[in-house]
Structure 1
Amino acid sequence: MPGRNPRPDEAIFAAAKAGIPADPAQLGESAAFRAGFTAFDAGYFWEAHELWEPVWMQAPPASRARRLLQGLIQLANAGLKLRMSRPDAARKALARADYAIGECFRSDSAAVLGLTHQDVASLRAAIYAL
């Protein structure tokens, strides 16, 4: 938890981050992308953000994948802010997540990086369960 615990050793994330493919079509298969969900599901929101950010950086600008990843990162940010007892900051992060995810699926309902809008909605619902 930022400000409460020491920052984890970057080596923990190194293997997953090193395997991010250059081909945007394969980003959803990367170890970092998948590990982000494992961290998120376990309530390790900061770690999920750390894993998803380099995948986001590899996604083409203005692509649906980049918008989806922005939304996922903001969902993780919202979960972290709730854990830190910062509900106003969590609401702002959720608004940013909703915007990015909405933009991702606004004109095309096809899955992005293997995720549908419903899959992402389930992740968002998990934040409210905190």
Structure 2
Amino acid sequence: MGRARLLPDRLFPRYAYLPGKGPHPVRDPGGHSYGVQPVLVSASIDSEEFAWGQDLFNHGYYWEAHEAWEGLWQTANRGSPLRALLKGLILLSASGVKIREGKRSPAMRHAGRAGALLRDLATAPHDNFWNALGISPELLADLAVTTAKAMPASRVTTQGQPERVFDFVLGGA
């Protein structure tokens, strides 16, 4: 059964990028985002771009989710809980890429760093983060590390096809 979409009218990229497997999305003229100008956005968990990152993540487009959240991270106030949350999600996405590549050590490193940032958010009340993610940052941290430790075997055989490696869903989708 497929996962629900937060932004069903927005089309997914034509492939899920893995480093060294297919054209680089931004640098290669054959890339799915080549020539696409970044949209300036304000950092908010209520933004369409945040939800877009969740959709990408939930459907196995980890490199692309990383890119969606990075734009928000760059505009978030330094030292803010929102910036830490976004960095945690970016690292979680990077872990997804490394799991898909079969690279256990980097997957564990990224998941561990994501977990540390997300656990730090659990020490202060951030109900809006819980509501936006559909899961507490602390539980998300635990699930990230558990998934990287278990290192799920890649099932996708078609290059560029997205693959979900995390059993949880962000945003309650």
Q: TM-score, normalised by structure 1?
A: 0.79
Alignment match, 1:102: 119
The whole-number CA distance in structure 2 between the counterparts of 1:87 and 1:7 is: 22
TM-fit CA distance, 1:122: 5.0
**Which residue identity lines up with residue 125 of structure 1 in the other structure?**
L
* Contact 2:65-2:93 within 8 A present in 1 as well: yes
TM-fit CA distance, 1:47: 0.2
Alignment match, 2:143: 125
Unaligned runs of 5+ in 2: 1-17, 26-30, 153-164, 166-173
Q: 1:33 to 1:13 in 2, by over 3 A?
A: farther
Deviations 1:66-124 (A, max 9, x none): 01001101110111100000011100001100111112222324323843683443586
Deviations 1:17-44 (A, max 9, x none): 52512xx5xx112222111011101101
Runs of 4+ in 1 over 4 A off after TM superposition: 11-14
**Which residue identity lines up with residue 65 of structure 2 in the other structure?**
A
**Which residue identity lines up with residue 18 of structure 1 in the other structure?**
V
Alignment match, 2:39: 18
Other structure's SS at 2:135 match:
helix
- Paired residues in the alignment total 124
Unaligned runs of 5+ in 1: none
Match of 2:62 among 18, 22, 45: 45
Looking at secondary structure, tell me which structure has more helix per residue: 1
Q: TM-score, normalised by structure 2?
A: 0.61
Other structure's SS at 1:111 match:
helix
Structure with the greater relative contact order (CA < 8 A, sep ≥ 6): 1 or 2?
A: 2
* RMSD between aligned residues: 2.7
Matches within 5 A, 1:1-130: 1-8=18-25, 9=31, 10=33, 14=37, 17-18=38-39, 20-21=41-42, 24=43, 27-112=44-129, 114-115=131-132, 118-120=135-137, 121-122=139-140, 125=143, 128=147, 130=165
Indicate the percent of aligned positions where both proteins have the same amino acid. Answer: 27
